[in-house]
């Protein structure tokens, strides 16, 4: 491990320690009465959340526009309540430590796809490089299509939250958010912005597109937490 990689690892560990207790208390990890069926997933939750049906297909949902982003034009801004704002090219992204997670994908519209093999960069790696300020508590992720969605940092910093650029060993398809999107396996999938263009750290919460339009702000599948009440 070179010096740069060691700095990122050290920063990740420091950031994880800061949010560890909150992460351990999130419903996707600690819910004592999760609703669903099937064998437990890796976090002890029923693999199929309540109200979901398993599918072998991967349906496509978006705002009606699928940006076409050649890799040479793709970029990602990380800013807001951070010490070190970042502006990353595609080459910068793939030069960061890479990770792979096999995870399930749960859509609020009622379908779940199991065992997708996602490859990319852990969200916490980018967060560590940007160094969130002490007051940072949430992030807003933005897509090139204008989409936005919010996350508390105790959800965003989980190990299985990735900026994904490959799935099942192939480049992430455009219709699923390629070349890069966020995935949040412990929350409904709308919490992961497709065609991600910006990660904005916030000192406090702010609702994104679907959260402003009646969807739950917390989005926990094992609580059937789909809509604002």
Mean pLDDT of the chain: 95
Predicted confidence band of residue 215 (pLDDT cuts 50, 70, 90): very high
φ, ψ of residue 101 in degrees (nearest 5):
-135, 135
Q: 206 lies in a domain?
A: yes
Position 229 in a domain = no
Q: Could you tell me which residue, 65 or 187, shows the higher pLDDT?
A: 187
Q: Based on the structure, what is the number of domains in the chain?
A: 1
Q: Is residue 228 part of a domain?
A: no
Checking if the pLDDT of 76 tops 90, the result is yes
Residue 119 lies in a domain: yes
In contact, 48 and 176? CB cutoff 8 Å: no
At 68 the pLDDT is: 94
Least confident segment among 5-19, 61-75, 198-212: 5-19
84 within a domain of the structure (yes/no):
yes
Does 4 score more than 80 pLDDT? no
**pLDDT score at 1:** 62
> What percentage of residues in the chain have a pLDDT greater than 90?
88
pLDDT in the model for residue 143: 97
Q: Is 10 or 92 the better-scoring residue by pLDDT?
A: 92
171 beta partners: 166
- Give yes or no for residue 10 having a pLDDT over 90: no
The whole-number average pLDDT for the span 192-212 is 97
Q: Which of 223, 227, 215, 228 is nearest to 49 (CA)?
A: 223
Q: Which domain holds residue 169?
A: 3-223
The verdict on residue 214 lying in a domain is: yes
The answer to whether residue 56 is domain-embedded is: yes
The pLDDT of residue 117 is 98
CATH number at residue 83: 3.90.420.10
For the stretch 117-152, pLDDT in tens is 999 999 999 999 999 999 999 999 999 999 999 999
Parallel, antiparallel, or unpaired: how do β-strands 75-80 and 46-49 relate?
unpaired
The arithmetic mean of pLDDT across residues 110-115, rounded, is 97
Partners of residue 211 on adjacent β-strands = none
Question: Could you tell me the pTM of the whole model?
Answer: 0.94
Contacts of 215 (CB under 8 A, 6+ apart): 108, 190, 226, 227, 228
């Amino acid at each position: 491990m070179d010096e740069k990689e060691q700095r990122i690892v050290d920063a990740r560990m420091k950031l994880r320690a800061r949010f560890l207790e909150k992460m351990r208390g999130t419903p996707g990890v600690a819910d004592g009465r999760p609703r669903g069926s099937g064998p437990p997933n890796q976090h002890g939750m029923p693999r199929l959340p309540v109200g979901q049906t398993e599918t072998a297909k991967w349906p496509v949902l978006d705002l009606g526009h699928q940006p076409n982003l050649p890799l040479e034009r793709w970029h990602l801004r990380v800013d807001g309540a951070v010490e070190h704002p970042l502006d990353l090219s595609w080459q910068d992204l793939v030069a960061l430590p890479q990770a792979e997670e096999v995870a399930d994908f749960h859509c609020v519209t009622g379908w779940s796809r199991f065992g997708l093999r996602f490859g990319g960069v852990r969200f916490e790696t980018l967060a560590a490089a940007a160094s969130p300020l002490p007051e940072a508590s949430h992030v807003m992720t933005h897509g090139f299509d204008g989409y936005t969605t919010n996350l508390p940092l105790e959800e965003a910093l989980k190990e299985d939250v990735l900026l994904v650029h490959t799935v099942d060993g192939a480049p992430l398809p455009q219709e699923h958010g390629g070349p890069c999107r966020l995935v949040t396996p412990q929350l409904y999938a709308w919490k992961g912005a497709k065609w991600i263009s910006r990660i904005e750290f916030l000192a406090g919460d702010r609702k994104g597109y679907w959260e402003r339009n009646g969807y739950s702000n917390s989005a926990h599948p094992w609580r059937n937490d789909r809509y604002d009440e």
